[in-house]
Structure 1
Amino acid sequence: MTSARRQRILALTPRERLAEQWARLGITPDYRCVRGPEVGMAMVRGRMGGTGNAFNLGEMTLTRASVQLMNDGVATDADTELGHGWVKGRDTRHAELIAVVDACAKRREWQADIEEGLVAPLEQALDAERHEQAQRAAATRVDFFTMVRGE
């Protein structure tokens, strides 16, 4: 699984569910915050009809964090153990948790556990919720048709 896909799934998952699933894995890394977590703004861009010229739609609140894993209280030198997390809104704990998961997923000994025990179940839950919402919306769908007059 790519890092971008993992980041997307973790950001879309509610923090409580993510924290619960993370605790079940039993991975408790020692880490330090390199940046943040900090709240800021990001410009959201749009396109007319999805294909037109891009324009600035507005700003949204964004929280980001970066963490570095530690080995026996000492920061590692490798950039491979640096994790980043972004989430919409002001939930600093969510952004920090995503960054920790991202950093841990770069260690070979935890990579499979994170992908199979954390990200895959969260992705399935998101897909199930999306499917349920689609079914609820489909139940309200109205099909219009034109009757031909018999002249």
Structure 2
Amino acid sequence: MATLAAATPEAVAEKFESLAPPAFDLVRQPETGLVMVRGRMGGTGSPFNLGEVTVTRCVVRLETGETGSAYALGRSKKKALQSAVIDALWQRPEARARIETDIIAPLAAAQKSAAETVRQETAATKVDFFTMVRGDN
């Protein structure tokens, strides 16, 4: 689910359309709310409230009984709904391998590639500072 949550709404929609989604019922309609995000100074310090972010959630039940849920950062109700259906399908043993190879793996690879690009662009701007020692000290 982390892969779907990190994906763009367009990427999730593209993968969702490649499925032939089964019939489903909405257990909880897509709804948007606020969540408090907490942080830590240096990753290890005392926690503090960083601020609120918008999150959309949705819960669906397939006609075969599997329940899927999704939380998506932002206000994309369509992304939350599609992610919840994909989550429910992933719980079906006969569909799990297809979901992992056709949806999750390509999205994860794209996210890894994007992160590597950002890492390389950041590394290209790195400045190494050094101190020259003067002989009179």
State the match for 2:107 in structure 1. 122
Which amino acid in the other structure matches residue 63 of structure 1? T
Length, aligned pairs only? 136
State the match for 1:3 in structure 2. none
| 2:42 aligned residue (37, 49, 60) | 49
State the match for 2:75 in structure 1. 90
RMSD: 1.3
State the match for 1:110 in structure 2. 95
Runs of at least 4 residues of structure 1 off by over 4 A? Answer: none
Percent identity between the two aligned chains? 46
Query: In 1, Cα distance between the equivalents of 2:131 and 2:46?
Result: 37
Structure 1 residue 89: Cα displacement: 0.9
**Comparing 29-38 with 46-55, which one deviates more in the overlay?**
46-55
2:85 aligned with 1:100: yes
Query: In 1, Cα distance between the equivalents of 2:47 and 2:55?
Result: 21
Which amino acid in the other structure matches residue 132 of structure 1? T
Structure 1 residue 102: Cα displacement: 0.3
Structure 1 residue 32: Cα displacement: 1.1
- DSSP 3-state at the match of 1:41: strand
**Comparing 83-92 with 14-23, which one deviates more in the overlay?**
14-23
**Comparing 85-94 with 53-62, which one deviates more in the overlay?**
53-62
Q: Give matches, 1:1-151, under 5 Å.
A: 7-24=1-18, 26-71=19-64, 76=65, 81-151=66-136
Q: Which consecutive residues of structure 2, in runs of 5 or more, have no partner in the other structure?
A: none
Q: Under a length normalisation based on structure 2, what TM-score does the superposition of the two structures give?
A: 0.92
Query: In 2, Cα distance between the equivalents of 1:133 and 1:54?
Result: 27
Which amino acid in the other structure matches residue 126 of structure 1? Q
Q: Under a length normalisation based on structure 1, what TM-score does the superposition of the two structures give?
A: 0.84
Residues 116-140 of structure 1 deviation map (CA, whole Å, 9 limit, x = unaligned): 1110111000000000011111111
Query: In 1, Cα distance between the equivalents of 2:12 and 2:121?
Result: 25
